[in-house]
Amino acid sequence: MTARAARAADPIDGAEDRRSPSRVVLLTLWVVAVVAWLVISRQRGLGPIEAADSLRGLLADNWWGPVLYIAVYTLRPIILFPASVLTVLGGLAFGPVAGIAYTVVGSNLSTAATYLAARFLTGRRPLRPPFGQRALDRLVANPFETTLILRLVAAPFDAVAIAAGALHLRFWPFLAGSFLGTITGTIAFVAFGASIESLSDGSPELDPMLLTVSIGLTVAGLVVARLLRRRRPDLAAEPAGDTTEAEAAT
């Protein structure tokens, strides 16, 4: 597939380019939101755990709690709120089964939103650092495998989505890799949240079974990540540009 055909098949690349002022406005609004959150949280003495714990009643006691939870999770990257805290809150507020379902939806919407925002800010031209070009070409050629490995080794959650958007990785392979790479950790964190009484309780009561499941899934994810990292050279295909040149030569 040629580069032009790949862009036409990608709904994001097929969109019209945004003008620079729009990107500046979006970036400015994001900076304002982050600063506002930092100021308010410091004035009120609210850390991420205290802020999430204060939402527990609203989430658990109202029929619209799941909708609020998914909305908060989706918008979480705007103020760089830790995804891990909200994931644990999902288990605490909704229990293991519903908590996993709602967190999977919110997590993937959050990932997609972060990716699209980063891609919007970079415009039509992807970000291309002046170093590591060969590794970068292989990363772009294998967005699914690369994202899967980064998620399994617990690379910074939002940083992965921002980098994927800025580098213009193909959207659907990236999202699929992110989903599969985070599902184990999601189950583990939600199971942990369902096993405690409060996020801010200094001596939480733990459910031994759910805690064992949480630890087991975390270990399993680390083992899979290690195996995939060993196989990474086999997964890396030739860069798209080299493949196109080879086809043209034949």
> Quick one: pLDDT at residue 225?
62
Q: Can you tell me the distance from the alpha carbon of 176 to that of 34, in angstroms, rounded to the nearest whole number?
A: 29
Contact between 160 and 151 (Cβ < 8 Å) = yes
43 in Cβ contact with 36 (< 8 Å): no
The two structure tokens encoding residue 6:
């790949």
CA gap 70, 22 in Å, rounded: 27
Q: What is the pLDDT of residue 125?
A: 84
Q: How far apart are alpha carbons 246 and 221 in whole angstroms? A: 38
Q: What is d(CA 114, CA 166) in angstroms, rounded to the nearest whole number?
A: 10
Residue 201: its pLDDT value, please? Answer: 60
CA distance 215 to 210: 9
What pLDDT tens digit does each residue of the chain (250 aa) get?
Answer: 444 444 444 545 444 454 577 778 878 888 888 888 888 888 888 888 888 988 998 999 999 999 999 999 999 999 889 999 999 999 999 999 999 999 999 999 999 999 999 998 888 888 877 776 777 887 788 888 888 888 887 888 999 999 999 999 999 999 998 998 898 889 888 988 888 887 766 444 556 666 676 667 666 766 766 676 666 554 444 433 343 333 343 3
pLDDT, position 109: 97
pTM above 0.85, yes or no: no
169/85 Cα distance (integer angstroms): 27
pLDDT for 167 equals 92
pLDDT at 250: 36
* CA–CA distance, 43 with 40 (Å, rounded to integer): 5
Alpha helices, DSSP H, located in the chain: 3-9, 20-44, 48-61, 65-75, 83-94, 96-122, 133-141, 143-152, 157-166, 171-194, 208-235, 240-249
Number of Cβ within 10 Å of residue 124's Cβ equals 12
State the angle between helix axes of 143-152 and 208-235 in degrees (0 to 180), rounded to the nearest 10.
140
Query: Quick one: which of 102, 92, 101 has its CA closest to 191?
Result: 92
Token pair in block for residue 211? 């805690």
Instruction: Give the length of the chain.
Output: 250
